[in-house]
A and B are shown apart, each in its own frame.
Chain A
Amino acid sequence: MIKARVTVTLKNGVLDPQGKAIEGALGALGFNGVGHVRQGKVFDVELQTDDRTEAESQINAMCEQLLANTVIEDYAVEIA
């Protein structure tokens, strides 16, 4: 079995109202010097294969078709 971690983040230039709100809340807690905060998502996916190449191609297809909305999001894949 191969474990993959997918990180989905908003593309540069796409406004992130939730990130902005978190940024504000960090400031309210007294954390000074916080720059921009961007919110994203992490998916841990187990794949029933030992073939890394196959795992990579599967997980990329999953990102393109479902895990990320490529109109507004980028994704990065790490294979353990």
Chain B
Amino acid sequence: MKSAVLLLPGLNRDRDMIAALTKIAGTPPLTVWQTETEIPADTDLIVIPGGFSYGDYLRCGAIAARMPVMQAVRDAAGRGTRVIGVCNGFQILLEAGLLPGALMRNASLKFVCREVKLQVVNAQTAFTRAYAKDQVIRCPVAHHDGNYFAEVDTLKRIEDNRQVVFRYAEGTNPNGSLNDIAGIVNEAGNVLGLMPHPENLIEAAHGGVDGRALFESALDTVAA
């Protein structure tokens, strides 16, 4: 599997993401700058890391979502290429219209940086098949705008379609997200957005490896 990591000014979790992908895939991902208009066609997985692209100006992810490279991401996603957006990457995917809903300011108005529990609600996606259904994992979060919102009809649709992949579990919802939503996929199931940072829990030195299975699933390094 070939992976690519998008680079946009203001992202700051790109190095962690590159390190995680390199460790799990065995080879480093390609990096793609925001002004590029093409992503190589043989790319199997595109990852948009976290951070504060464009200083979170206007709305988190709003400016990044309108950069040329995002059209290439849209085209690739349309062809079935897997796409993961973590934290600011999730905000960018929502602003780009690749996922439904929006992320608003945390209900507490505070930046939260802590560990939460996540329930794997759907373990049949390309990103979660190395987990067990309803498995509860640990994962760090670090964000100010992670409060998932969607209109009633949209919320019902994504719940009915099993597009909700991760929920904050055991009372650890850090931001007021509707239905405790922490991560969702698009209708086709090849685009995942989540607020928590699985790339920061992939080796013993991190204090746990609960995030590893997400990348192992996405990179096909585990048997299905």
Using a Cβ–Cβ cut-off of 8 Å, how many residues does chain A contribute to the interface with B? Answer: 11
**Provided the pairs A69-B59, A69-B62 are in contact, do residues A18 and B102 lie with their beta carbons within 8 angstroms?**
no
* Contact of A2 with B by CB under 8 A: no
* Contact of A34 with B by CB under 8 A: no
Cβ proximity bits A8-33 to B, threshold 8 Å, 1 near / 0 not: 00000011011001000000000000
Decide if B107 touches A15 in the complex (CB within 8 Å): yes
Q: How far is the CA of A32 from the CA of B109 in the complex (A)?
A: 23
Chain A residues within an 8 Å CB radius of B111? none
Q: How far is the CA of A17 from the CA of B112 in the complex (A)?
A: 15
User: For residue A10, which residue of chain B has the nearest CB?
Assistant: B104
Chain A residues within an 8 Å CB radius of B101? 71
Interface of B is mostly: loop
Interface residues on B, range: 20 to 34
Decide if B66 touches A18 in the complex (CB within 8 Å): no
Q: Which of B66, B95, B104, B108 contacts A15 (CB 8 A)?
A: B104
Q: How far is the CA of A14 from the CA of B148 in the complex (A)?
A: 11
Decide if A14 touches B66 in the complex (CB within 8 Å): no
* Contact of A80 with B by CB under 8 A: no
Chain A residues within an 8 Å CB radius of B105? 17-18
Decide if A14 touches B106 in the complex (CB within 8 Å): no
User: For residue B95, which residue of chain A has the nearest CB?
Assistant: A69
**Provided the pairs A66-B66, A71-B150 are in contact, do residues A17 and B58 lie with their beta carbons within 8 angstroms?**
no
Q: How far is the CA of A65 from the CA of B58 in the complex (A)?
A: 13
Interface residues of B in 17-45 (CB under 8 A from A): none
Q: Which residues of B contact A (CB under 8 A)?
A: 58-59, 62, 66, 94-95, 100-102, 104-109, 147, 149-151, 176
Q: Which residues of A contact B (CB under 8 A)?
A: 14-15, 17-18, 21, 65-67, 69, 71-72
**Closest 4 CB pairs between A and B?**
A71-B102, A72-B102, A17-B105, A17-B107
